[in-house]
């Protein structure tokens, strides 16, 4: 049996608690209880709640970055297959850990300095995606469109799950694993249809 290091256990508990209840609603004491350690142990690894929040955001961004990179490397050369793979990679962590969607919601509530730090982690991925879409459009392998807006629409769909669940419920979406899979599949089909050069 592998023992998970204390620092990682603290990060995992913070991701789950922040994602389910919000950053402001969770104390370091609660995180310590969830991990089974004292608050002083949490403070040993993360000297303040702000530093823990920053570490959580960095860990989530790094996980997303690795998942997207792996998806891009493993996908076929067909640009529609690569778009599918990236959408799958973005949803996979959320399906495994629904609290990640709550963290997406929390990002919109962060102070500007912290949101800027998160953007710096994510921005290279966004820029790479936009450049890729533009290149494939130039080659005629994807329908011509505004690659920035297309990337933005895909992002808005994913973040909308976290920020607008009541709107989604009103149209019959259920916030469970099956609902996430259904939404992922609809987004993939929509983007495939919208980007197909024969559409």
28-62 pLDDT, tens per residue? 999 999 999 999 999 999 999 999 998 998 888 88
| 75 phi-psi bin (left φ>0, alpha ψ -120 to 50, beta other) | beta
- Phi then psi dihedrals of residue 98, to 5 deg: -55, -20
Whole-model pTM above 0.85? Answer: no
Could you tell me the two tokens for 144?
Answer: 């011509």
- Domain edges within the chain: 53-195
Could you tell me the two tokens for 179?
Answer: 């609902």
The chain-wide mean pLDDT, for the chain, equals 84
Task: Spell out the alpha helix ranges (H) of 75-199.
Answer: 79-96, 99-107, 112-138, 147-163, 165-170, 177-195
Instruction: Check residue 113 and give its pLDDT.
Output: 75
On whether the CB atoms of residues 181 and 95 are closer than 8 A, the answer is yes
104-157 pLDDT, tens per residue? 667 667 777 777 777 777 788 888 889 999 999 999 999 999 999 998 888 777
53-195: CATH superfamily:
Tetracycline Repressor, domain 2 (1.10.357.10)
């Amino acid at each position: 049996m592998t023992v998970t290091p204390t620092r990682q256990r603290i990060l995992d508990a913070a991701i789950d608690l922040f994602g389910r209840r919000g950053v402001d609603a969770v104390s370091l004491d609660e995180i310590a209880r969830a991990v089974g350690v004292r608050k002083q142990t949490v403070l040993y690894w993360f000297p303040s709640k702000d530093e823990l929040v920053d570490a959580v955001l960095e860990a989530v961004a790094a996980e997303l970055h690795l998942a997207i990179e792996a998806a891009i490397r493993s996908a076929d050369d067909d640009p529609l297959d690569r778009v599918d793979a990236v959408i799958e990679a973005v949803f996979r962590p959320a399906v495994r850990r629904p609290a990640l969607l709550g963290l997406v919601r929390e990002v919109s509530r962060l102070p500007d300095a912290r949101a800027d730090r998160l953007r710096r982690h994510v921005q290279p991925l966004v820029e790479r995606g936009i450049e890729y879409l533009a290149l494939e459009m130039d080659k005629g392998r994807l329908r011509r469109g505004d690659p920035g807006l297309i990337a933005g629409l895909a992002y808005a769909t994913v973040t909308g799950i976290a920020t607008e669940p009541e709107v989604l419920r009103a149209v019959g979406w259920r916030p469970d694993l099956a609902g996430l899979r259904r939404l992922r599949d609809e987004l993939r089909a929509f983007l495939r249809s919208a980007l197909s050069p024969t559409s």
